Structure formats: C-alpha cells, structure tokens
Chain A
Amino acid sequence: MRIYHFSEQPCPDAWAPEHKSLRVILPSRNCDPRVMSENYHHRLDEWMLADELGLDIMINEHHATATCCCPVAAVPLAILARQTKRARLLTLGYPIANRLDPVRVAEEFAMIDVISRGRLEMGLVRGVPYEVPLSVRSAVGQMDRFWEAHDLIIKAMTSIDGPFDWQGEHFQYRNVNVWPRVYQAPHPPVWITGRSPQNIREIAERGYVLGTFLSGFQTKDLFDHYRKACADLGRPAPAPDRFSYLGIVAIAQDRKEAMRRAEVMVGYLRSSGRVAEPFGTPPGYFSVKDAARMIKARGKRTTTTREGKAVDTHHGAIEDLVKAGIMFVGTPEDVYGQLAEFVDNVGGLGHFLMMGHAGHMTHEEAVDQITLIAKEVLPRLQKSRAASRHAA
C-alpha cells in the first residue's frame, strides 16, 4: 500500500460567492500572481516533505480555473523529478484526448522519467466535461481519439530503433523518434481513470492501474468490473496494485481540529463544483440517451449517476462524506480505522491518493497532515491485517 500526497494547487483567493462559474470563464484578473507564487512554493515544499517522509506524489492538471491552478502538470513534475529523491511521481493525469500533440506528451514524459531516474507513473485521463469547451477538439468521438493518442504515446516511447510514421484517423506524424529513451522499460507504468464497465474493461485488458476518484463505497463495484474482465480473459485475479482511489483526508492530533480542517477542505469542494450552464454538458461527452435526458431536465439538476455523485460530493455534510468513503477525518487512529475499513470493503487497494491539501488550508496545516499520515497511518496500514490480506 502506497499513499500519494495530492493538492490541486488552487488559487482560493480568487473565488468569491459572486462568481457563478469558477471554471472556463473566470477572468485571470482574479489571480494575484504574487500570492499564487507563494502557493506554488508551499505546495512544492509539501511534496518534497512527502518524499522525505515516505509518501508518494500525485499531480493533476486543469485549465482556465481557480480551483486547480496547474494547467501544465509537466512543470511541477519536472521540478519534483529533480528535487525529490525517492517518491513515485504520479500524474493523474494528462487529458490526452484534448491534446493536439501526443508525441509532445511522450517527449515530456520521457524527460521526466529520465530526470527522476525512473519514478514516473503515467496517468492518462479523459478529462472532465467542462474542459471540453476549452479544447480545440469536441467531445464527439473523444474516447476513440483517447485510445489512438494512447497507442501513439506508447509506440513512441517503446520504439527505440529509429523513426516511424503514424497515419491514424485522428493523428498523423512523420518521423516519430522520441528522445530521450524512457528510463523504465518498456515504458513507465500507465494509469487510467474509469467509471463505465466498458471503459474499465479496456483498462483491465491492458493490465493498467485503474484510477477512481471520490466514488466512495461504490468503488468496490468499479474494481469488480476490473476483476471480472480479468476472469473473463482467463487471467489471475488482479493484485491490489492495479487499483487506486482518491479520497480527501483531514487529520489532526485531536478530533476537533481534524473537523475544523475538514470544514476548510469541504468548503473548497462545495465551491469547486460551480460551473456555468453550457459547460457542464458538452455535446458528445455523454451518450445521446443521457444527453436527451439532460435536455428534458433543463433548468433542473440532472440525475445521472455521475451528476448524482457530484451533488453528494459537493454538498454533503462531513459526517455523510466520511460514511460514504469520500472523506477520511479524525485522529490518526480514526483515519487509520476508516482507511482500513475502506481497503477491506473494496477488496484491496494498492494506491491511496490522498487529497491532503485543499482550498484555504495553510502550509503549516498541510505539513502537519502529511507528517501525521506518513508517520502514524501509513506504517500501520502497511502492517495491518487488512492490507496484508490483500497484499500483492
């Protein structure tokens, strides 16, 4: 079991209640670059501390938003590739279906892998609906494009005997020849996020790590789709290291302080879901059936599973979010108990992705959280019966 420290690197001073949408249209005038500079340095310091204390590192990226002020995951990854010593460097991930240039992605990954001496974990994501409006390409046929980009990235990384041409449906290249050669052979580990049974099956077929975010106790069903796909293929049951889950952690030596931190983090979650109307349902992102249902529900909150979960995530009470397995809150003892129960429930978990900093949380608080999880929770989880029973 590994724990990855994660922050979205937000710009929390930029969101005020009057902003109807924190995504796509929020003017960057609301970002004070001097304040943001401090934020970046604090987050990088926190990741370096995580490295020292035995945690791993997760980075993500979003675009045109104050909620995640990291539009280029390669930048912090590159800094941390040099500045850290041992942590795995996970990006989860690159929205490769929205990227115009998969070969450039392969080049960025290759360099980060080599500088970090083989510590890159290569996460690929479809991306959230409200970033489609920022993309040069629409969401129509997005998953087709995703897989073609994936195939091209992998081929670009593993072709070490000179150039090849790529003449696909979505991408065409001459003389693809990625330098440097990747450090980890044949290529860095691949992670992909999935929700639908079909998508999870495609991830399982390739033996990749399945990424799941804030899906709570429904996560077991997602992992079961993966296990079933392996069984159908006649493969052995997948090891826990094929599974990852992202939850929010508010931890402190006393329960009252942990609850206060949880309030800070959940306040961020409640505002981060604010997206102006046309951006939440880009054409092509959802099936025609779901899109038709959304037209019908115009003006009302949609009721798809995905949206339904978002409602819980963004508006639920902390106690409910803990019960749902979305937040892990309390003393090290409490958080250990909640995590052990979760790991047991999902049938084994190799990677816990900890949102350990969010919103207005201070650097000092984040440092305390990282220290507690690294020193008082991770060692126990690694030794615990729950973890060992499912260990690889």
Chain B
Amino acid sequence: MDSAEGPATEEIAGVNIEIIRRGKGRPVLFLHPHIGMHGSGPFIELLARKVQVIAASHPGFGHSELPRGMASVDDMSYFYLDLIEQLDLRDLVVVGASFGGWVAAEIATKTCERLSRLVMIGAVGAKFGARDRSDIVDIFSTPRSRWEELSFRDPAVWLRDYESLPEEELTAMARCREATALFAWNPYMYNPRLRPRLHRIRIPTLFLWGAQDGFAPPAYGRSYCAAIPGAKFEEIAESGHFPHMEQPEAVARRVIEFGLERQAARA
C-alpha cells in the first residue's frame, strides 16, 4: 500500500482484515481489483479529502486472512454485508474496481438497504458475450507482460522492480494471485447467477470505464451497464482497465460528484 499511512488490522466478522480508513463525512467503501490494493493509494487519498474512505484488502488478498470455507464472491459479499453492519455504515457509496466491481454487484443485488450509490470502475462479474470465448482477458493463460499491456494505457503505472520488492510486498502479490484463482478461476471472472439478479440494484449506479481498456473492453462495460436499471456509463480518457490508478484525479472527482449528488439535492 502506497498511501501516507499504512493499513491497520481489524477484526471484522471474525476475520483479521487489513484495512485503511481515512477522511470524514459520507462513507465510501472502496473494493479493490484482483491485483490488490497496490496503486490505489493516490485515489484513496484524493477521496479522503472530501469523504470518509473505508478500503479493506478482501479476505485472502494482501495481508487479510482467508476464513475457512470462503470460496466464492457470493461468500465474500456476505462478509462485506457483515462489515457494513459492524461499522454501522449508512448512505454508503460503494466503489468497486474490476474484480472489486464484481464484489460490489454481488453486495448490491442482495440488499441496497444501507447503500446510496454504486460506482462500477471497469467492473467484471457478469457474462454477456459469446459462450465460446471469455469476455475478460485470462490472466492465468496470458503471459504477464501481455496482460499488463492490455490492462494499462501506460504499463509503467503498474510495473515494479520485482527483484527489489520487500518480502512482504511479494507475499501480498502472491496471495492476490492465489485468491483471484480461488474466487475467479472458473467460471472465469463471473458468476452465472449474477446477471439475472442485476435488476435488483435499485440505487443510482455509475459505470466508469477506461477508454483504452483492453482487458475488459468498453463494449462489455456498456452491456453490463444496460443490465442495471437507470445506470449511467462514462468513459475515462487516457486510461486502460484501472482508471482509478491511471487517472486518479478524474475518477476521484466523478466519484465525489456522483456520491454526494443526493446529499446536495436534499440540502
């Protein structure tokens, strides 16, 4: 994690979770992508200037514990419903990026009771394309350099000198990869049950998609958006699959505008 302060460890729903909490005001729950929390720091700090950010490493990812028996994003969404209750979050803005967007959709299809807004950044998790090919680039069958190329407009945003990384960082990376396999191996990056449930998302929803996303192309994002009643779709210029990393200012600005809309309307 590359934010000013390191994450803390808290016990949430009986699980030891690595968690970042910053800022005040409207709560925003950030759900990180399959590559983990790395690179999300600037985005989180920008949000924290205006809102209260809660960002946990998902169970099994980073340095968060994986509870026995948790093996699907469906399971994980119940963990997050517990987290929302335990931290007593209300009028919550849920922001999910890539794999985190899948988690967000699984939460919101179960209940929107404590949720006010949903932001899906390059979200995966539902199936829209042909049955004889994957909608999403298969990171497990694609050389790392190639999927990095497809995921970023500028892969330098992500590239790190693996040789000089501390043990702890390498462990976090290895755990993210293993957890991604646990939750998203097959069906790859989606839950066949999710698409027919998307109509249950009855809160304002905004899709933000990198215009140069070669990992989950914008056409996939538009299909996803069309399955959620009233959802809006916006492209983020000069970005690949992780706009919150490549364009943190633009994405944070849109999240804050959209997240605070209702409050403004009420005032």
Contact = CB atoms under 8 A, between A and B. Distances in A.
* Interaction A to B: yes
Interface of A: 24, 133, 136-141, 276-279, 282-284, 288-289, 291-293, 295-296, 298
Contacts of A295: 162, 170, 173-174
Contacts of B186: 136-138
Contact of A140 (B141, B142, B165, B181): B181
A283 B178 contact: yes
A282 B181 contact: yes
Given A24-B141, A141-B182, A298-B144, 4 more contacts: A140-B185, A141-B71, A284-B178, A284-B182
B38 interface: no
B132 interface: no
Contacts of A136: 186
Nearest to B68: A169
B175 A288 contact: yes
Most buried by B among A133, A277, A296: A296
A140 B170 contact: no
A296 B144 contact: no
Given A283-B181, A295-B162, A277 B143 contact: yes
Contact of A138 (B142, B165, B170, B185): B185
B180 interface: yes
A297 to B, nearest CB: 8
B52 to A, nearest CB: 32
Nearest to B167: A292
Given A136-B186, A284-B178, A278 B171 contact: no
29 contacts: A133-B140, A133-B141, A136-B186, A138-B182, A138-B185, A138-B186, A139-B181, A140-B182, A277-B143, A277-B144, A278-B142, A278-B144, A283-B140, A283-B180, A288-B174, A288-B175, A288-B178, A291-B174, A291-B177, A292-B171, A292-B173, A292-B174, A293-B170, A295-B170, A295-B174, A296-B162, A296-B163, A298-B144, A298-B162
B173 to A, nearest CB: 6
The list of the 6 closest CB pairs from A to B, nearest first, reads A138-B185, A292-B170, A291-B174, A283-B181, A138-B181, A292-B174
A138 B177 CA distance: 12
Interface in B115-166: 139-144, 162-163, 165
A389 to B, nearest CB: 47
Given A137-B186, A295-B174, A278 B143 contact: yes
A289 B171 CA distance: 7
Nearest to B171: A292
B185 A137 contact: yes
Contacts of A288: 171, 174-175, 178
Most buried by B among A139, A279, A295: A295
Contacts of A133: 140-141
Contacts of B170: 292-293, 295-296
Contacts of A298: 144, 162
B178 A278 contact: no
Contacts of A138: 181-182, 185-186
A279 B142 CA distance: 9
A283 B138 CA distance: 13
Contacts of B180: 283
Nearest to A277: B143
Contacts of B174: 283, 288, 291-292, 295
Contacts of A279: 141
A256 to B, nearest CB: 43
A136 B185 CA distance: 8
A140 B178 contact: yes
A278 B148 CA distance: 13
Nearest to A290: B174
Nearest to B180: A283
Contacts of A296: 162-163, 165, 170
Contacts of B71: 141
Contacts of B139: 278
Nearest to B184: A138
B133 to A, nearest CB: 15
Contacts of B162: 295-296, 298
A276 B140 contact: no
Most buried by B among A139, A279, A283, A288: A283
A129 to B, nearest CB: 12
A102 to B, nearest CB: 18
A294 to B, nearest CB: 8
B34 to A, nearest CB: 11
A136 B181 CA distance: 11
A291 B178 contact: yes
Nearest to A140: B182
Contacts of B144: 277-278, 298
A276 B143 contact: yes
Interface in B206-236: none
Most buried by A among B142, B175, B181, B186: B181
